[in-house]
Chain A
Amino acid sequence: MSGLTIPLEHVLLLASLLFVCGLVGLMVRRNIIFILMSLEVMLNSAALAFVAAGAHWNQPDGQVIFLLILSVAAAEVSVGLGLVLQIHRRFRTLDMDSANRLRG
């Protein structure tokens, strides 16, 4: 493999940035759609890190894990969207703060 190679550090930096973006989104957003999307961003940042690492060490494992994450993300989205629908039906809103039944 030749040509332009992006240094691993850059990719990992990008992945971290994406992860932090997702995390911050998770912590500050109240809309469940955005929360789900933030989750997706976090998952994908992790997946990116795996791919980059796999490429760096010439190992297939990274890509295997990427596929795993992809399927997990898909499953998560389907479950998540189901929850979204339920929550919308129950609370007539997508604001997650209204679903605070676990308050002590």
Chain B
Amino acid sequence: MLEYIWLIPVLPLLSSVVLILSAGKLPGSVVSILGVGSVGLSALLVLSVVSTMLPSVEPYQISYWTWMQVGSFAPRMAFYIDGLSLVMMSVITGVGFLIHLYSSEFMQEDTDFSRYFAYLNMFVAAMLILVMADNLLLLYLGWEGVGVCSYLLVGFWYTNSANGRAARKAFVVTRVGDTAMALGLLLLFTQLGTLDIQPLMQAAELNWAVGSQWPTIAAALLLGGALGKSAQLPLQTWLPDAMAGPTPVSALIHAATMVTAGVYLIARTHGLFLLAPDVLACVALIGLATLLVAAFSALNQNDIKRILAYSTISQIGYMFLALGVGAWSASVFHLMTHAFFKALLFLAAGAVIHCLHHEHDIFKMGGLRSKLPIPFWSFLIGSAALAALPFTSGFYSKDQILMAAWEVPSIGPLLWLGGLLGALITAIYSFRLVFVVFFGDATTEPDRQPGWRMALPLILLCGLSIAGGWIKQPLSSVFPLSVSHHPSLSIEAISVAVPLIGLALAYFLFLGKQLNVSSLVNSSIGQSLHRFWKSGWKMDSLYELLIEKPYQIVTTALKPEWADHFYHALVDLCQQLNRLLSESQTGLIRWNTTGMVVGLIILIAVAGGFV
């Protein structure tokens, strides 16, 4: 079975190539079958691989060809499958298949249906390469590949130039991180002589002391890449704008898979990060800061997709927090459950938007509970999982993270408290969304109901969002075992209680109206805070002021091509000289004769030796 593993990324890639070459000439049904079927086949293959490799996942490595060989630099086209890759592959193909199926209905009226599936399939292929790669360079290929696909899909509706801008922003901001990562790759190869991940980790442990200079720099550079891709502070600004793409794209790329690539990268190279405790602490702090910053922003959005976008940033913050405290498997666990419930939420949001004539503003919705039952239940279950209500999948994963944070010496309780605060706000904003959209007075009338291709993925994801917490991930051979003595029951109890408090608060604020939310917002400080948080802590304006504007000023200032002024000055000098000399050419015969005579006299004098 394992020898066919190359088919897993190649099938979607092939389908993508066929769709691109067909240039939109294939009928919609064929496009759907190709697009959805290829990912479905990949998912089946992954399933069979999983069943072959379980229960004891022995890492499997297969090499196809040497990508390039220059001296000792010889990265290969090779795959490395272990428990971590398997989890990622399952999520990508499994959730990916459901989203593809959903897309086939969601996008069927679009004129560029086949282009959509071409991009989406290409994305799945690139993402699979990313998680299956045996060396960092191939991982980087997948890494950039998903970036480009994300760019293409965010800017999918290209006739609106705002979408194009959002797409470019997404690509360029993540590219900043990617460049740091590329430099990290250069450093790792120069210092350790290989980019193959497993030998690299061994070499790092052998050659570098904990906390020394090189592992710290290398880990920091890789972290830069992870921050960009996973939309963490300070590179998080692109993700809310990336919601300009079609909603299934947001579900697949900007919730379930691509944005968690940073988490995957750090988990994959955890050996290196363990050598750099300072960087690891940074990861935890950045995660904590991001989860709080994004949670406050999510609380203040009106656009249904932007709420979910900020919530994604916030949840990935939890994963980073987990990574930072060394709870690798908890992080990957949350990655998986998050993929389930956030994909569910996005798809449900897509269904709502789809049925409400592309309405995005939650305050223009309301009372949709009975009119759109499937999206309602999906939303309810998804939000419960997002808020980490007991017995949902999100509960188990978030609980693991908070417990791991608590156990960290010295700053542990602080991290725990921050995470708890985040959980409270998460509960408030997720149920704010549910209450505002599905309860209250009906203001809009849906003009259609989701068909089976949209409903089925929702139902399946509902199941996964609830039951996903019981999936046991085969990660024990991947990560070092963390010794955990369980914290006291009271800590555990508080962690359980906080989301419930949040739910209650949301109920009082937005449904029961026992607490007057508008008076809170309308006070002057409330208003400015609301605006501040709504704009994502003004980070966009800050970057515009600090980076975008100066960049434009510099380029505009350079545009006249100052180097050319020097060459033009040379030309001018020549012309001046020419003018000066041409003054001597009077055109008068007398002048010429005199010149000749004087010249002759001088010549004769010189020849005669008089001078």
Q: Which residues from chain A sit less than 8 Å from chain B, CB to CB? A: 23, 26-30, 35, 96-97, 99-104
When C-beta atoms are compared, the residue in chain A nearest to B586 turns out to be A103
Shortest CB-to-CB span from B423 to chain A, Å, is 88
Once bound together, how far apart are the Cα atoms of A96 and B589, in whole Å?
A: 7
18 new A-B pairs (CB below 8 Å) besides A27-B593, A27-B597, A100-B586?
Answer: A26-B589, A26-B593, A28-B590, A30-B590, A96-B588, A97-B588, A99-B587, A100-B588, A101-B587, A102-B587, A103-B585, A103-B586, A103-B587, A104-B581, A104-B582, A104-B583, A104-B584, A104-B587
Is the pair B581, A27 in contact by a Cβ cutoff of 8 Å?
no
Contacts of B593 in A (CB 8 A): 23, 26-27
| Bound CA–CA A12/B363 (angstroms) | 120
CB-defined contacts of B597 to chain A, threshold 8 Å? 23, 27
Q: Among residues 584 to 603 in chain B, which have CB atoms less than 8 Å away from a CB atom of chain A?
A: 584-590, 593-594, 597
Q: Of B582, B585, B586, B594, which is within 8 A of A27 by CB?
A: B594
Q: Which residue of B lies closest to A38 (CB)?
A: B593
The number of inter-chain residue pairs (CB within 8 angstroms) is 36
Q: 8 Å CB contacts to A: which residues of B558-606? A: 581-590, 593-594, 597
Residues of chain B at the chain A interface (Cβ within 8 Å): 581-590, 593-594, 597
Q: How far is the CB of B581 from chain A (nearest CB, A)?
A: 7
How far is it, in angstroms, between the C-alpha of A28 and the C-alpha of B586 when the chains are bound?
A: 15
CA distance A84 to B101 in the complex (A): 100
Is A100's CB under 8 angstroms from B587's CB?
Answer: yes
Identity of the chain A residue whose Cβ is nearest the Cβ of B589 in the assembled complex: A96
Known contacts A23-B597, A27-B597: A96-B590 contact under CB 8 Å: yes
State the 10 A-B residue pairs at the shortest beta-carbon distance, nearest first.
A104-B582, A104-B585, A100-B587, A103-B587, A102-B587, A27-B594, A96-B589, A27-B593, A26-B593, A27-B590
For the complex, give the distance between the alpha carbons of A18 and B594 in Å: 17
> CB-nearest residue of chain B relative to A97?
B588
Which residues of B sit under 8 angstroms from A26, Cβ to Cβ? 589-590, 593
Residues of A within 8 A of B583 (CB): 104
User: With the chains together, A28 CA to B589 CA distance in Å?
Assistant: 10
A contact residues around B582 at 8 Å (CB): 104
A97 to B597, CA, bound (A): 19
Q: Nearest B residue to A29 by beta-carbon distance?
A: B590
Residue of A nearest to B578 (CB): A104
Q: State in angstroms the CA–CA spacing of A96 and B587 once bound together.
A: 10
Smallest CB-CB separation from B582: which chain A residue?
A104
7 contacts across the A-B interface (CB closer than 8 A): A23-B593, A23-B597, A28-B590, A30-B590, A35-B589, A96-B590, A104-B584
